[in-house]
C-alpha cells in the first residue's frame, strides 16, 4: 500500500494499533479485541457445556481450545464468570 501510494504521489499516513485477544501486550491497560472475544467466548463455552451435559453418558467429555498467546486471560475469565457451582464453564 505504501509503495503504491508513493508511486502515485498520494500522501499516505497510517497509524498501527496493536490488538490481541489475550490482553497480553506490554505497557497496556487493555487491548482491543479482548473485550469482544471475552463477551463471545463465555456464552459459547457455557452453551456447549450444557450440550455436553445433555448428551449424558454417551459423550461426557468435551475439549475446547481457546485463542491466546501467553497470559491465558480468556481461559481465566471463563472460570471467573461462573454463576452457579454446577455451571459447565471450567
For 6-61, how does the pLDDT look when each residue is reduced to its tens digit (9 = 90+)?
999 999 888 877 677 766 677 777 777 777 788 888 888 888 888 888 888 877 77
pTM summary value: 0.56
Distance separating alpha carbons of residues 56 and 60, to the nearest angstrom:
6
Is residue 46 within 8 Å of 89, Cβ to Cβ?
yes
Grid coordinates in use for 87?
455451571
Q: Is 22 a catalytic residue?
A: yes
In the predicted model, is pLDDT for residue 89 greater than 70? no
CA-CA-CA-CA torsion for 79, 81, 86, 87, nearest 10 degrees? -100
Distance separating alpha carbons of residues 72 and 88, to the nearest angstrom:
18
Neighbouring C-beta atoms of residue 84, cutoff 10 Å: 7
Q: Which residue did the predictor score with more confidence, 26 or 90?
A: 26
Is residue 66 within 8 Å of 27, Cβ to Cβ?
no
Can you give the pLDDT at residue 9?
93
Can you give the pLDDT at residue 10?
93
- From 22, 51, 57, 87, the catalytic residue: 22
Can you give the pLDDT at residue 74?
81
Amino acid at each position: 500500500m505504501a509503495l503504491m501510494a508513493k508511486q502515485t504521489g498520494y500522501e499516505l499516513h497510517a497509524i498501527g494499533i496493536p490488538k490481541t485477544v489475550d490482553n497480553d501486550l506490554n505497557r497496556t491497560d487493555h487491548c482491543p479485541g479482548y473485550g469482544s472475544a471475552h463477551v463471545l467466548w463465555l456464552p459459547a463455552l457455557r452453551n456447549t457445556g450444557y450440550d455436553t451435559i445433555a448428551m449424558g453418558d454417551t459423550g461426557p467429555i468435551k475439549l475446547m481450545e481457546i485463542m491466546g498467546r501467553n497470559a491465558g486471560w480468556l481461559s481465566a475469565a471463563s472460570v471467573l464468570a461462573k454463576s452457579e457451582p454446577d455451571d459447565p464453564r471450567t
